[in-house]
Amino acid sequence: TLMISYPGARIYLNNFTGNDKNNGRSWISPISTMGEALKRATRGSVIYFYGKLREQGLVTPPGLTDVTILGCGTKVRGGHTGNTPGPKGGSANWARSDRDDAVPLLTVTQQGWRFANLQLQGPYQGPSISLIRDLAGESADPLGKSAGYAEFENCVFVGPNQYGIYQEGGVNHVKIQNCWFYNFYGAGLNNVAIGGPNTSVGFPIMWEIRNNFFMASPNVIRLGLADSVITGN
């Protein structure tokens, strides 16, 4: 179970009935976009999401840590995209928009972001979720990037986009558990369920990849991990 460590704003997002002019403080008055939710989030916030998002190219705000995005409604089902929230695809479906570029659904640049009970499908030649670290992120630089301590639980990643989860710069302390990765089969693209480049900044360390399912996905992990645990998959 994901632990929520800091009290923050509770934000309710329903893109079927919501409106970004609403206060977003309950299911009675939800907002409608993840972009607006990120603007309203504070440290320790939980974004409760129901519906079918088609947003792409979002970036976590500078300095905003320890935010949870929690899919609500029915549990996601592995291997199904689901046209609407319901018994096939679950109730929290976030996929690429009609943009042609390869920008991720979301780029995480700060620590402690958590994702649970979501179905994610990124752009064909880009990641679903991108985790980024640079050296400035380990210093007092407010614009530095350090996406460590990210957690993914009970999420479904649907290919054939380039990566399900992508890391760059040596992101540390990432936990991926009880997730499904479906259709990362490498037909003409560098499709990898979990991966990213090894750079001069550093190797990714202290990852936990536990009890996940990789279906129709021969390219499972392409990552130079150190001091990490991969078990039960």
CB atoms within 10 A of CB 75: 12
Query: What's residue 90's pLDDT?
Result: 61
Query: What's residue 76's pLDDT?
Result: 64
The pLDDT-based confidence of 75 (bands split at 50, 70, 90) is: low
The pLDDT-based confidence of 85 (bands split at 50, 70, 90) is: very low
Residue 14 has which token pair?
């329903």
Full strand arrangement of the beta sheet holding 163-168 = 58-59, 106-108, 127-132, 163-168, 192-195, 221-222
Average pLDDT, the chain: 86
The C-alpha atoms of residue 94 and residue 6 are separated, in whole angstroms, by 25
CA distances from 19 to 27, 29, 30, 47 (A): 11, 8, 6, 15
Residue 28 has pLDDT above 80, yes or no: yes
Burial zone of 146 (CB within 10 Å; 0-12 exposed, 13-18 middle, 19+ buried): buried
Determine the average pLDDT of the residues in 184-208. 79
User: Could you read off the pLDDT of 133-192 as tens digits, one per residue?
Assistant: 987 766 667 778 999 999 999 999 988 888 999 999 999 999 999 999 988 886 555 688
Q: Which residue has the tokens 């499972």?
A: 220
pTM > 0.85: yes
